[in-house]
Structure 1
Amino acid sequence: MRIACVFGVLAPLAVVAGGREPVLKQVDLPHNYYWRELYLPQPTTGPSSVGFLPDSETLVYSMGGSLWRQRAADDEAVELTHAQGVYDYQPDVARDGRSVVFTRYDGRGMALWRLDLASGKTQALTSGADVDVEPRLSPDGKRIAWVSTQGTGHFNLFIADIDAAGLHNARPLLGERRSKLDRYYYAPFDHAINPAWSPDGKSLLYVGNPEVAWGTGDLWIVPVDAPAQRRKLVSEETSWSMRPEFAPDGKRIVFSSYHGRQTHQLWLTTPQGAAPLPLTFGDTERRNARWSPDGKRIAYIGNAGEGGNTELVLLEPLGGAHQVLRAKTLRPLAPAARLTLEIRDEQGKPVPARVSVQGSDDRAHAPRDAWMHADDGFDRAHRKTEAHYFHCASRCVVDVPAGATQVVVQHGFAYKLWNRTLDAAAGREAKVDVALVPNALPDEYGQFTSADLHVHMNYGGHYRNTPAHLAWQAQAEDLDVVENLIVNKEERIPDVAWFGMPGIATRPRVAHAQEFHTSFWGHLGLLNLRDRLVTPDFSAYRHTALASPWPHNGVVADLAHAQGGLVGYVHPFDTVPDPAKDASLTHQLPADVAHGKVDYVEVVGFSDHKATASVWYRLMNLGFRLPAGAGSDTMANYASLRGPVGLNRVFLDTGGRIDDGTLFATLKAGRGFATNGPMLGLQVEGRKPGDTIEGAHRASYRIALRSPVAVDHLELVCNGAVVKRFDLTGDRMQLDSAGMLDLPQGGWLLLRAWNDNADPRLLDLYPYATTNPVWIDGPTPDASADADYFIAWLDRVIEAASARDDYNTAAEKDATLAYLRQAQSVFRGRVR
């Protein structure tokens, strides 16, 4: 078949994700990947929250989605709750020791429940699809405070009377208040979270953010019967984790804060708001603190142990003695079985891999020392809750309830998914042999190195990550290179101490680079920095001393290039920018491309791949040879995260080498493909992506597809138009094809694969992959419409930049506007 490569309208792609929706989509706050991890509980295999019984020796804590009871002097934990398809968290023990209130998650929302410790019976206290969390019983047991999204979608403080029948007179304590400040990471409406009762039951501590632009907010106290008399105790900078707690004597308040550090520590203040002093020190997290009723100990959740998983620690404030409470023996409510997984590749060699285990209880299970991770979205038509997974170092041992158990194993993209349903017999141990089947591209398409160009090793999550552990995560995902982008989370930079330290040079290789934050201009990835971080690491932060839009991204790019760095735009577009209709348009990508500042763009990343590709096509139509990169933006120490390390990756034809020189030269040359699953091979006249061929003649092509999931569409795209669609049959995971096409004009040609909707086996919006283009030498089609598009785009950027009144100097503003106008003139020069 002859195929003519001519210029046409941009190849249409529906920018939808099918039935996949965010977890707890009813919460009306931006940036769910922050508040969901940093505030809401997750089913970690280690403890996540804790409360004391009245004897000050027995604790009730959440772990793995159940509540457990354990004495401080014992090493056996007894399971208290375990219901079908739900996860239990945040226990609060009544002062009489007879009952526990807690939070239960069922995939639709979070509700408050109560457990009777004598009978084991549970009772729902709230219902519906709201998110109800952080239940706290008053000292006399007659009232309960909690945080709810009821009626607003925002986190507000609620209070109710409680008796044996349940809740009565439930009501918001403070009500809604809209801030006068514009916020980026937080909702325009204030929140009130982290309630804790005073010992006399008359007041509540809480964390609120009235007129706080950055951070979760300050420490407040409010009389429950006179909420208008609330007062601020301490101004703080926190990330969802303060959780204040009165000492039993009412004279001290313990809370968690990073307060100028990179990790949360425990601090003390008073009901009068005395200057806080630290109670703990170090470079690991300490959160969710609770006083024992006798005031002699504080229990908290940390991650200082070997492996970086969560752990329950008992601290004596006087003297500093501490005890890690470990449960060597677990006594579950239901009969259990044990599975031992051994995972091997095609040569019979043990390999680590990503594993999901779904038990007969419709819950996720993992080895006791594994990091449990949860997906950030799911299709309600396929699942009741989001997918959970862990990384298994073959071999690994998982305890599950007896009955039908589903096991799914994945090792990168070059192997087929392994999926089995097993019958786990009560009291028995079973060995599960997993033989992975390769599904790699033919060697003729290249010797590829796979790289995730955008990972955050630590970003305030539940776990404590290290380069060695990050490399192990990458190994389980069959990933060759990880770029750890060091970046701020508001006023701290969690991984800043790692910059300049040697990474891991062997495969998988871990390198420390940087993400530069400015949500006005767009975020940048700065790779291969040889001298220093580009500080202050962010700009255009409204209502701060760094409010000025200067330095703009072109200046930052020059600073990075001066020390040998590469500059890329990361997670660019969630929708296709529309200069005529968008309420605001400030993204600087086209200006920096026009000035030659951009070395790559994350075509596949934490954004909409199809939307980003449509902008990429327009730039290439105008002759800009902009290479495609890929980065997952994974927060690799999160329990609830946007995909594992390597979810989005670029395959670079490096000849198999992983050194910086080869890797980055190949990236800049556009030799490879970007993908979240499907792997693509393309040759035109025997040349590969990144190469240039002559136009105005017939050319041969060869293509290949290998994918771990089914693919809906496989297409050749030339100068923005689809010129060949390939028919996929069977499992739609593999195809080899060859043919001829006409190249009457110059421009570019690439191969792409995509799906209309999400695939439940792939933890992203939808399967998507694209090769870099093969460039076609010769006269190019008229792309005036694309030039006009970017001229209009930059009109909007210039308008927004001109309206900013927070430049430090007039010279900053003048230089910024001149840079944008010069970029606009470049696009005007490309109008025919």
Structure 2
Amino acid sequence: MTAPAEAGREPVLKQVDLPHSYYWRELYIPQLTTGPSGASFTPDGTSLVYSMGGSLWHQVIGSDEAIELTHPKGAYDYQPDIAPDGGNVVFTRNDGDALELWRLDLQSGREQRLTSGGAVNVEPRLSPDGKRIAWVSTLGTGHFNLFIADVGPNGLSNARPLIGERQSRIQRYYYSAYDHALNPSWSPDGKRIVFVSNNEVAWGTGDIWSVAVDDPTDRRKILNEETSWSARPEISPDGKQLLFASYHGRQWRQLWLTTPDGSAPLPLTFGEFDRGNARWSPEGERIAYISNERGNTSLVVQQVVGGATVPITASHRRYKAAQAKLTIDIRDEQGRSVPARVAVLGSDGRAAAPDLAWMHADDGFDRARQSSETHYFHCASPCTLDAPAGDTSMWVQRGFRYLPWRQTVKLTAGTDRTLAVKLEANDLPVSFGRWRSADLHVHMNYGGSYRNSPENLARQARAEDLDVVYNLIVNKEERIPDIGYFRTDPDPASGDGVLIIHAQEFHTSFWGHLGLIGLSDHLLTPDFSAYQHTALASPFPDNGMVADLAHAQGALVGYVHPFDWDIDPAKEKSLSNELPADVVHGKVDYIEVVGFSDHKATANIWYRLLNLGFRLPAGAGTDAMANYASLRGPVGMNRVFLETGGDMTPAALKAALKSGRTFASNGPLIGLELDGKRPGDTVSGTSPGKLPYRIALRSPVAVDNLELVHNGKVVKSFSLTGDRRKFDAAGELEVNSGWLLLRAWNDGADPQVLDIYPYATTSPIYLELPGGAPPAPQDASYFAAWMDRVIGAAESRNDYRNERERETILDYLRRARDHYRSLESKGR
């Protein structure tokens, strides 16, 4: 995100200096889930201490009663590790600003803070004698490094990095240039620590290593393993086996066994779901792990020999503080029960949700307005949850056609209360079209805490009042998690107002990512190219070739999450995005103007292309990892509205997108009509002059700016007053040839829009009037300079497989550059 776009909104863990926070934050940092997220055996092996709902709980194995041990005000506790003598437990506490290590005395209940300084401190592990502790911290660097300290009654002493900072020689895209060391655990004799490091590893979080605690120069690589943040290797109590979690060539993470000297690993568990965060029992005959087999997280104890399992189910919960039961009954304007997104903040300053609901968290927040990020869940209505007695705040939102519902109620301990929620409609007048809403960019499963399914994805969409979900099947390095769901017709889970369509995102971080919608035969594999330091390092095929393969199947091709800042070709450190070339060659059917990017920066580039006469519809996609707990906005946060006359067939949706009968938004609903024409249409005339226009705005949040943009310039600004959520206007506008669109936007963030700032834009209405469109030589020059940089980047690659690949791509790029140069004089 650019600095102006952020305004008051900042990343949740802004002290971490690593790229692609949406990966490491979900896959590594503990997240708030209603189900368990980490466990530790008591020394006698009869019970567990585990994290659930942001508290630590104690439960006897075989019992259905859980006893709450911690419940911090405005904070959440994770990753317990019980001392060898059973007297205390160390854990990680997230207070909204940082993650610090704490210790709980299990007899007295006294809590003691062990670290301070505002860093991210996670994965605390006590040595077998209980005298030392290892953990991972970003202290001093912003990178994940392995720390060690002595631990005594007064806390920590002699705290220090065990390995230290090291910059890798290998270039990495998804990972920091600095090596990390994470997932520590102790050998039974306390002399070595096993951990994960990406020393000279390009893809994945790295290999399994061990280091001597008293001689950090004594390091040994145990296993080459392209781990993904959560391998968490752990040596068995007898020192003979090493347990870890891995995808290991599969789509889902399971538990594997190797030895401390790195024997060939073999699987211990199997299944099309995730198992992880595994711990050995003290006698080494059982393991406890977290599973998402049933969708939400759950805790299971399994016999190593035989595989018998005991689920740890907290049917009865003994809370530290008095609770009340709250039922939320959500109705639409016609009194019908409807699902919606709900955020509940209890009197304890913590988020609350039903026991089985999936808790999600925003990826940023304004610290001047909130103490932590917004947590929310989808309520099928009615839904019931437990919350502490006292003032309880609620926010209910259902898509963009309804105004947000907010209320604070006082709950009384030991009582049941039903709260009726009546949503107020605020929809566009039907005279502007019959729209269907679609999120063009969703990933159903992408390595997150939960296991999603088409049925649950449809439930998520209904709660967000979203008509269509395009599940873009995509790789995450070695995996393509949803590849088994691909089909050319809508998923059978479709129905009850929601359509689930499986499509594809083609990954090449060199050329830019593509959305491929409507493939009629098969996915394009291997789904990526230009992955340096791999067998697929060649930048061949480029996006133009991928687009041809997709178009041969009747698919639409779009550029997804394009630009995070305004691109200045001369100043970019590197520039290889192929969008301008693919537009020139007719390969691009739409662009995600509203998506996981900076909407204004993307629009500025889009306007330049429109000025040169290219017709490029506006699309929108959230890039939602729909099985994440730390979600960058819910499914449908960024959506495109398609004017289909109410039709919701795949063909009608594709036709509307292709023709530009769209508007894209993360909140405001906007309607535009010029001389009786709507977005995607062409206004033709024999004489220039004033044309009648009509506009409408309906928004769930206040809008600061509503503007008509003609050929890249604002030609009419509308003054919004009152609550700035509803506006209608009509008049006349003097225009010449080119294009016209309507946009709504805010300078800063709004907590009720889980995005960097509210933004909406129609696709253009095209104008063919006497005199022709004005020339745009500066825009042509801009893209010619852009293509010079792309050609330079492509020429510098030395990993083409042969000269034919190299010359094919360079010829394609040079022809695009030459076309832009010709437009410098022609204008369009």
User: Fold conserved (TM > 0.5)?
Assistant: yes
Aligned to 2:811: 818
Counterpart pick for 1:79 among 65, 68, 76? 68
Q: Report if aligned partners of 2:330, 2:339 keep a CA contact under 8 Å in 1.
A: yes
Per-residue CA deviations over 1:463-490 (Å, capped at 9, x if unaligned) read 0000010011000000000000000001
Aligned to 2:144: 155
Q: Report if aligned partners of 1:253, 1:269 keep a CA contact under 8 Å in 2.
A: yes
Per-residue CA deviations over 1:203-232 (Å, capped at 9, x if unaligned) read 100000101000011111111001111100
**Residue 269 of structure 2 corresponds to residue 276 of structure 1:** no
Report SS of the residue matched to 1:16.
Answer: helix
Report SS of the residue matched to 1:702.
Answer: strand
Mapped to 2, the partners of 1:728 and 1:28 lie a distance apart of: 40
Aligned to 2:130: 141
**Residue 281 of structure 2 corresponds to residue 292 of structure 1:** yes
Aligned to 2:716: 724
Mapped to 1, the partners of 2:20 and 2:613 lie a distance apart of: 35
Q: Report if aligned partners of 1:680, 1:751 keep a CA contact under 8 Å in 2.
A: yes
**Residue 520 of structure 2 corresponds to residue 530 of structure 1:** yes
Task: Please report how far the alpha carbon of residue 828 of structure 1 lies from its aligned counterpart in structure 2 after TM superposition.
Answer: 2.1
Aligned to 1:366: 353
Q: How does 1:38-117 map to 2 (within 5 A)?
A: 38-117=27-106
Q: Report if aligned partners of 1:15, 1:608 keep a CA contact under 8 Å in 2.
A: no
**Residue 190 of structure 2 corresponds to residue 201 of structure 1:** yes
Per-residue CA deviations over 1:651-683 (Å, capped at 9, x if unaligned) read 011111111111001001110200000000001
Q: Report if aligned partners of 1:674, 1:771 keep a CA contact under 8 Å in 2.
A: yes
Aligned to 2:405: 418
Q: Report if aligned partners of 1:134, 1:195 keep a CA contact under 8 Å in 2.
A: yes
Calculate percent identity across the aligned residue pairs.
65
Mapped to 2, the partners of 1:148 and 1:496 lie a distance apart of: 36
Mapped to 2, the partners of 1:226 and 1:508 lie a distance apart of: 60
Q: Report if aligned partners of 1:29, 1:153 keep a CA contact under 8 Å in 2.
A: yes
Aligned to 1:774: 765
**Residue 386 of structure 2 corresponds to residue 399 of structure 1:** yes
**Residue 749 of structure 2 corresponds to residue 762 of structure 1:** no
Task: Please report how far the alpha carbon of residue 295 of structure 1 lies from its aligned counterpart in structure 2 after TM superposition.
Answer: 1.3
Q: How does 1:327-366 map to 2 (within 5 A)?
A: 327-366=314-353
Q: Report if aligned partners of 1:233, 1:271 keep a CA contact under 8 Å in 2.
A: yes
Counterpart pick for 1:571 among 529, 537, 561? 561
- The letter of the residue matching 1:784 is P
Task: Please report how far the alpha carbon of residue 729 of structure 1 lies from its aligned counterpart in structure 2 after TM superposition.
Answer: 0.7
Aligned to 2:596: 606
Aligned to 1:439: 426
Mapped to 2, the partners of 1:338 and 1:655 lie a distance apart of: 44
Note the aligned Cα RMSD (angstroms).
0.9
- The letter of the residue matching 2:408 is T
Aligned to 1:191: 180
**Residue 416 of structure 2 corresponds to residue 429 of structure 1:** yes
Report SS of the residue matched to 1:298.
Answer: strand
Mapped to 2, the partners of 1:15 and 1:701 lie a distance apart of: 32
Task: Please report how far the alpha carbon of residue 31 of structure 1 lies from its aligned counterpart in structure 2 after TM superposition.
Answer: 0.3
Mapped to 2, the partners of 1:438 and 1:255 lie a distance apart of: 51
Per-residue CA deviations over 1:750-781 (Å, capped at 9, x if unaligned) read 00000000001110000000011111113001
**Bigger Cα displacement from structure 2, 822-831 vs 620-629:** 822-831
Q: Report if aligned partners of 2:738, 2:768 keep a CA contact under 8 Å in 1.
A: yes
Aligned to 1:807: 800
Task: Please report how far the alpha carbon of residue 694 of structure 1 lies from its aligned counterpart in structure 2 after TM superposition.
Answer: 2.6
**Residue 741 of structure 2 corresponds to residue 750 of structure 1:** yes
Counterpart pick for 2:790 among 797, 800, 806? 797
Mapped to 2, the partners of 1:283 and 1:418 lie a distance apart of: 39
Task: Please report how far the alpha carbon of residue 440 of structure 1 lies from its aligned counterpart in structure 2 after TM superposition.
Answer: 0.2
**Residue 528 of structure 2 corresponds to residue 541 of structure 1:** no
- The letter of the residue matching 1:114 is R
Counterpart pick for 2:778 among 780, 785, 799? 785
Aligned to 1:503: 491
Per-residue CA deviations over 1:400-438 (Å, capped at 9, x if unaligned) read 011000010000000000000010111111001001100
Aligned to 2:731: 739
- The letter of the residue matching 1:812 is E
Report SS of the residue matched to 1:652.
Answer: strand
Mapped to 1, the partners of 2:192 and 2:259 lie a distance apart of: 14
Per-residue CA deviations over 1:6-35 (Å, capped at 9, x if unaligned) read xxxxxxx99522111111011010000000
Give TM-score, length-normalised by structure 1: 0.98
Mapped to 2, the partners of 1:769 and 1:402 lie a distance apart of: 40
**Bigger Cα displacement from structure 2, 15-24 vs 517-526:** 15-24
- The letter of the residue matching 2:815 is Q
Mapped to 2, the partners of 1:587 and 1:563 lie a distance apart of: 24
Task: Please report how far the alpha carbon of residue 687 of structure 1 lies from its aligned counterpart in structure 2 after TM superposition.
Answer: 1.1
**Residue 475 of structure 2 corresponds to residue 488 of structure 1:** yes
- The letter of the residue matching 2:814 is R
Task: Please report how far the alpha carbon of residue 825 of structure 1 lies from its aligned counterpart in structure 2 after TM superposition.
Answer: 1.9
Mapped to 2, the partners of 1:358 and 1:777 lie a distance apart of: 54
Task: Please report how far the alpha carbon of residue 536 of structure 1 lies from its aligned counterpart in structure 2 after TM superposition.
Answer: 0.9
Q: Report if aligned partners of 2:617, 2:662 keep a CA contact under 8 Å in 1.
A: no
Task: Please report how far the alpha carbon of residue 500 of structure 1 lies from its aligned counterpart in structure 2 after TM superposition.
Answer: 2.1
Task: Please report how far the alpha carbon of residue 831 of structure 1 lies from its aligned counterpart in structure 2 after TM superposition.
Answer: 2.0
Q: Report if aligned partners of 1:81, 1:333 keep a CA contact under 8 Å in 2.
A: yes
Counterpart pick for 1:623 among 604, 608, 613? 613
Q: How does 1:508-527 map to 2 (within 5 A)?
A: 508-527=498-517
Mapped to 2, the partners of 1:225 and 1:255 lie a distance apart of: 24
Mapped to 2, the partners of 1:611 and 1:436 lie a distance apart of: 34
Mapped to 2, the partners of 1:706 and 1:398 lie a distance apart of: 32
Per-residue CA deviations over 1:595-643 (Å, capped at 9, x if unaligned) read 0000000000000000000000000000000000000000000000110
Q: How does 1:643-682 map to 2 (within 5 A)?
A: 643-682=633-672
Mapped to 2, the partners of 1:16 and 1:186 lie a distance apart of: 24
Mapped to 2, the partners of 1:403 and 1:296 lie a distance apart of: 45
Q: Report if aligned partners of 1:51, 1:61 keep a CA contact under 8 Å in 2.
A: yes
Q: Report if aligned partners of 2:738, 2:773 keep a CA contact under 8 Å in 1.
A: yes
Q: Report if aligned partners of 1:89, 1:102 keep a CA contact under 8 Å in 2.
A: yes
4+ long deviations beyond 4 Å: none
Task: Please report how far the alpha carbon of residue 461 of structure 1 lies from its aligned counterpart in structure 2 after TM superposition.
Answer: 0.4
Q: Report if aligned partners of 2:117, 2:139 keep a CA contact under 8 Å in 1.
A: no
Report SS of the residue matched to 2:6.
Answer: coil
**Residue 456 of structure 2 corresponds to residue 469 of structure 1:** yes
Counterpart pick for 1:684 among 674, 684, 695? 674
**Residue 158 of structure 2 corresponds to residue 169 of structure 1:** yes
For structure 2, the 5+ residue unaligned runs are none
For structure 1, the 5+ residue unaligned runs are 1-12
Q: Report if aligned partners of 2:388, 2:413 keep a CA contact under 8 Å in 1.
A: yes
**Residue 365 of structure 2 corresponds to residue 375 of structure 1:** no
Mapped to 2, the partners of 1:92 and 1:722 lie a distance apart of: 59
Task: Please report how far the alpha carbon of residue 246 of structure 1 lies from its aligned counterpart in structure 2 after TM superposition.
Answer: 1.3
Report SS of the residue matched to 2:484.
Answer: helix
Aligned to 1:596: 586
Report SS of the residue matched to 2:652.
Answer: helix
Count of residues in correspondence between the two structures: 817
Q: Report if aligned partners of 1:85, 1:106 keep a CA contact under 8 Å in 2.
A: yes
Mapped to 2, the partners of 1:658 and 1:119 lie a distance apart of: 61
Task: Please report how far the alpha carbon of residue 248 of structure 1 lies from its aligned counterpart in structure 2 after TM superposition.
Answer: 0.9
Mapped to 2, the partners of 1:341 and 1:830 lie a distance apart of: 60
Mapped to 1, the partners of 2:6 and 2:645 lie a distance apart of: 35
